[in-house]
């Protein structure tokens, strides 16, 4: 059985687990405390024994395209770095820029697109999580990254 972990880093980090190309689990981590976050990732690594991992890497755009505070990218990069450092000890790690896996869709449109790529059984896994609406997009992004890596969605 091959296991892929996909991660959308953020203060609330989305993580998805795919086994043999199918969504097995998804979760939301609070990454505001780096130590607690790292320990939670270690638990996930131990539970699922991943064969590979993919994580979204923040990208700096030209200043005229900035949305919000660009310094927040530093925090995202730290969180991605924690995941990369831990997972690289047990499996190959892949990195992807947001535009490469999701193109130019708005977050709402891309989240709908990701949900439409899921099989009924996979949607049940997502729905059972009862994620707060304000953070569900983080988990959907992690799922979307995994689907893209597996070739189950276009950008």
Residues 3-149: name the CATH superfamily. Answer: Ribonuclease H-like superfamily/Ribonuclease H (3.30.420.10)
The total of other beta-carbon atoms located within 10 Å of residue 144's CB is: 29
Question: What average pLDDT is seen over the chain?
Answer: 93
Owner of token pair 């490469």: 100
d(CA 15, CA 26): 6
Give the H/E segment covering residue 114: helix 107-117
Q: How many helices and strands, by DSSP H and E, does the chain display?
A: 6, 5
Q: How deeply is 94 buried, as exposed, middle or buried, from its count of CB atoms within 10 A (0-12, 13-18, 19+)? A: middle
Whole-model pTM: value is 0.93
Q: Using pLDDT thresholds of 50, 70 and 90, give the confidence band for residue 65.
A: low
What residues does each domain of the chain span? Answer: 3-149
Residue pair 145/16 in contact (Cβ under 8 Å)? The answer is: yes
């Amino acid at each position: 059985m091959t296991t892929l972990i996909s991660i959308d880093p953020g203060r609330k980090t989305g993580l998805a687990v795919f086994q043999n190309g199918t969504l097995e689990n998804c979760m939301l981590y609070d990454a505001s405390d780096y130590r607690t976050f790292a320990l939670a990732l270690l638990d996930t690594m131990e539970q699922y024994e991943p064969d590979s991992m993919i994580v979204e890497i923040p990208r700096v755009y030209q200043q005229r395209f900035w949305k919000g505070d660009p310094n927040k990218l530093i925090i995202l990069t730290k969180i991605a770095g924690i995941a990369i450092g831990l997972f690289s000890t047990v499996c190959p790690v892949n990195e992807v820029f947001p535009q490469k896996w999701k193109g130019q869709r708005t977050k709402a449109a891309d989240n709908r697109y990701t949900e439409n790529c899921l099989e009924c059984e996979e949607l049940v896994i997502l729905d059972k999580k009862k994620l707060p609406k304000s953070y569900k997009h983080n988990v959907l992004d992690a799922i979307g990254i995994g689907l893209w890596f597996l070739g189950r969605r276009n950008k």
